[in-house]
Amino acid sequence: MDVKIETSWKSKLKEEFEKEYFIKLSEFVKDEYKAKTIYPPGSLIFNAFNLCPFQNVKVVIIGQDPYHGPGQAHGLCFSVREGVDFPPSLINIFKEIELDLELSRPESGNLERWAAQGVLLLNATLTVQARQAGSHQKKGWEQFTDSVISTLNKEKQNIVFFLWGAYAQKKGESIDRSKHLVLESVHPSPLSASRGFFGNKHFSRCNDYLRENGIEPINWK
């Protein structure tokens, strides 16, 4: 199957694209785009991969679903397009960065600037129906993104994985803690952020680890 994705990922995941589940998933997604309003736009489904080639990955942040409101999702977890109001979880992420690193809140919620530095902003499910949270779960995307995490876990070392909330932590259970740094806390959503997301210092801990391993740290601004 010819999947339009960045070349290094295409090479790493080529066997996955030929599996029966992925072929069924592709047909489902194509039909959904034809019949309904689906986010992100079709050309941006693999945006996280296109902006962060396999060889560049230093950090992985795991989200769940794309945003399901108009104009928000563009293929990067927690990120929104230029000019779009910050969703509550993203506001809390920027609050923790300010607490941790004393960096003032940026004007843009578009996190492409992180992706360009090697941050893979990976949603577990890569598509969603408008205003229907979770509508494309259990269609095959989770198996695909599990394979992405497994490939990174096996083939690279010294990646920092951010696992915020029970869902992300379960998805990251198999990551080899002897090869990578796994940072866990509650989710940054307003329901849980005050119970351990604020003050987790994940962003400074990530950069300390990268520096210790001779890797350029991330500018989280």
**1 vs 84, higher pLDDT:** 84
Q: For the packed helices 20-35 and 141-155, what is the interaxial angle rounded to 10 degrees?
A: 130
Burial of 128 (0-12, 13-18, 19+ CB in 10 A): buried
Helix/strand/coil (H/E/C) assignment for every residue in 85-114:
CCCHHHHHHHHHHHHHHCCCCCCCCCCHHH
Interval 200-217 mean pLDDT? 98
Structure tokens at 145: 């993104």
Interval 12-41 mean pLDDT? 98
Specify the residue for token string 């993203």. 90
Structure tokens at 87: 């969703």
Interval 107-125 mean pLDDT? 98
Is 65 catalytic? The answer is yes
In the prediction, which pLDDT does 1 show? 83
On average, the pLDDT of the chain sits at 98
pTM above 0.95, yes or no: yes
Alpha-carbon distance 157 to 46, whole Å?
23
Cis peptide before 70 (omega within 30 of 0): no
Burial of 139 (0-12, 13-18, 19+ CB in 10 A): middle
In the prediction, which pLDDT does 62 show? 98
Please pick, among 65, 85, 100, 176, the residue that the annotation labels catalytic: 65
